[in-house]
């Protein structure tokens, strides 16, 4: 049988389609389900990821879906980072992460202390959580429970442990403080029948390939934050659902039912969408190897120290610059730094995108400026 072969352009075009960047997806819930989560370490960035994929999505709508309708839920997920998920995917995520300890649990186990004492501490915080409408770090500091500074850190601490165990999710922040709430209180009608770990991870592998593939085995392992051995096992379990192919000269695996047609060529450059992607956009997090997205010489301008990922200008499926927004006089100011002088059609598209970013935040566009370094 002839091995399916895709050019670099075909691969990029297909990934934009599957990511919801070529044609909008039906809703924010559909985006989170399709991409199996949208990173939410920075909430405005998560809102922009949804705005880029769901029609006219606003920051107000994000707050409503998270904290009023609760059709989205904020959890510690893959790679130990915060994500937004469709709420009814919570049991699946819990099943996939079962038995995978958080940093704080691993540290407790390696410290040589009494793990029974640690479990008693977790039980005490869980009891406090279930007694209250929501729980914040100020509550924990005044509780008398023996919690050290690391367990009260803004990077998760005891809250990440509670989320990983399926006890809690993030509630609306209050007075600048992050808060969590008990699952049973927040989503009392959510059917809680998590699949076993292997079945859940096989499902996630299938959904990953549908959204981000074709991809390498290393890409899936990177996205999940798991070992190559585990990843190969999940793909093996998918059997004939998975197809091996070549994309841009690399050996890839793809989901048979979502493979692109190799006879279809992408359009000319001006037929591709021009996008202002927010920081930590899912497209940039979906694969380990970034060469298909950005020239090596520009990599350091996008992927910054301490794990930061800049907001990016996407042209013809590749990163063509970075951008930032700020607030000035009640309006949004946007500064775009292209890697080279942009074509006229790119400038026009960015003007439309910039107005859309401002509308997403419910504010006028005060200024759009270009800066070439």
User: What pLDDT, in 10s, does the model give residues 52-65?
Assistant: 999 899 999 999 99
pLDDT score for 35: 98
224-231 own/partner pairs: CB under 8 Å, 24+ apart: 224/78, 224/79, 225/78, 225/79, 225/80, 226/201, 230/201, 231/205
Higher-confidence position of 150 and 324: 324
Whether the pLDDT of residue 345 is over 80: the answer is: yes
Q: Got the DSSP string for 292-343? A: TTS-GGGHHHHB-GGG-B-EEEEETTEEEEEEEEEEETTEEEEEEEESSPPP
Instruction: Collapse the DSSP code of 191 into the 3-class scheme (helix H, G, I; strand E, B; otherwise coil) and give the result.
Output: coil
CA–CA dist 210, 212 (Å, integer): 6
Q: What is the pLDDT of residue 154?
A: 76
Q: Strand 250-255 relative to strand 242-247: parallel, antiparallel, unpaired? A: antiparallel
pLDDT above 90 as % of the chain? 86
The partner residues of 242 in beta bridges, in order of sequence, read: 255
Confidence at residue 2, expressed as pLDDT on a 0 to 100 scale: 56
Contact 146, 121 (CB under 8 A): yes
pLDDT score, position 237: 98
CB 61 within 8 A of CB 72: no
pLDDT tens readout for residues 83-108: 999 999 999 999 999 888 788 788 87
C-alpha 331/C-alpha 357 separation (Å) is 11
CA 198, CA 206: separation in Å to the nearest integer? 12
Residue 276 has pLDDT above 70, yes or no: yes
In sequence order, what DSSP letters do the residues of 219-235 get, joined into one string? HHHHHHT--HHHHHHHH
Average pLDDT, the chain: 94
Q: What is the mean pLDDT of residues 22-45?
A: 97
What is the rounded average pLDDT of the residues 279-306?
95
We find that the CATH architecture of domain 99-186 is Orthogonal Bundle (1.10)
Residue 310 has pLDDT above 90, yes or no: yes
b or e along 184-202 (b: 16 or more beta carbons within 10 Å of the residue's beta carbon)?
eebbeeeeeebbebeebbb
pLDDT at residue 85, rounded to an integer: 98
Label residue 310 exposed, middle or buried (CB < 10 Å: 0-12, 13-18, 19+): buried
For residues 232-252, one letter each, b for 16 or more C-beta atoms within 10 angstroms of the residue's C-beta and e for the rest, the string is eebbeebeeebbebebbebeb
Q: Could you count the other beta carbons within 10 Å of the beta carbon of residue 308? A: 12
* pLDDT for residue 1: 47
Q: At residue 308, does pLDDT exceed 90?
A: yes
Q: pTM for this structure? A: 0.95
Beta bridge partners of 252: 245
Tokens of 219: 């890409």
Return the domain boundaries, the chain. Answer: 99-186
Q: Give the pLDDT confidence of 100-153 residue by residue, as tens digits.
A: 878 878 887 787 767 888 889 999 999 999 999 999 999 999 999 998 888 888
């Amino acid at each position: 049988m002839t091995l399916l072969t895709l050019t670099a352009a075909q691969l990029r075009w297909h990934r934009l389609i599957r990511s919801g960047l070529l044609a909008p997806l039906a809703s924010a819930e559909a985006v989170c389900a399709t991409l199996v989560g949208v990173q939410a370490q920075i909430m405005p960035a998560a809102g922009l990821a949804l705005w880029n994929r769901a029609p006219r999505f606003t920051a107000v709508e994000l707050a409503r879906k998270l904290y009023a309708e609760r059709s989205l839920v904020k959890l510690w997920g893959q790679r130990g980072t915060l994500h937004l998920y469709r709420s009814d995917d919570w049991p699946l995520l819990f099943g996939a992460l079962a038995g995978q300890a958080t940093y704080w649990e691993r540290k407790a186990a390696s410290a040589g202390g009494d793990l029974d004492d640690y479990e008693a501490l977790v039980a005490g915080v869980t009891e406090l959580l279930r007694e209250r409408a929501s729980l914040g770090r100020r509550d924990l500091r005044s509780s008398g429970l023996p919690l050290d500074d690391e367990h009260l850190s803004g990077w998760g601490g005891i809250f990440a442990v509670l989320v990983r165990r399926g006890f809690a999710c993030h509630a609306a922040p209050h007075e600048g403080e992050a808060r969590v709430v008990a699952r049973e209180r927040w989503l009392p009608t959510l059917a809680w029948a998590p699949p076993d770990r292997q079945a859940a991870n096989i499902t996630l592998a299938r959904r990953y390939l549908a959204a981000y593939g074709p991809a390498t085995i290393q890409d899936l392992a990177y996205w999940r934050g798991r070992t190559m051995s585990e990843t190969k096992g999940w793909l093996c379990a998918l059997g004939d659902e998975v197809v091996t192919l070549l994309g841009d000269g690399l050996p890839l695996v793809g989901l048979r039912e979502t493979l692109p047609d190799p006879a279809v060529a992408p359009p000319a450059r001006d037929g591709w969408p021009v996008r202002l992607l927010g920081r930590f956009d899912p497209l940039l997090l979906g694969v380990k190897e970034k060469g298909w997205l950005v020239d090596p010489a520009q990599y350091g301008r996008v992927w910054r120290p301490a794990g930061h990922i800049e907001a990016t200008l996407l042209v013809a499926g590749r990163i063509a610059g970075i951008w930032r927004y700020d607030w000035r006089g009640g309006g949004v100011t946007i500064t775009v730094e292209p890697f080279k002088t942009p074509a006229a059609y790119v400038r026009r598209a960015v003007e439309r995108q910039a107005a859309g970013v401002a509308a997403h935040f419910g504010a006028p566009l005060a200024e759009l400026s270009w800066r070439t370094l």
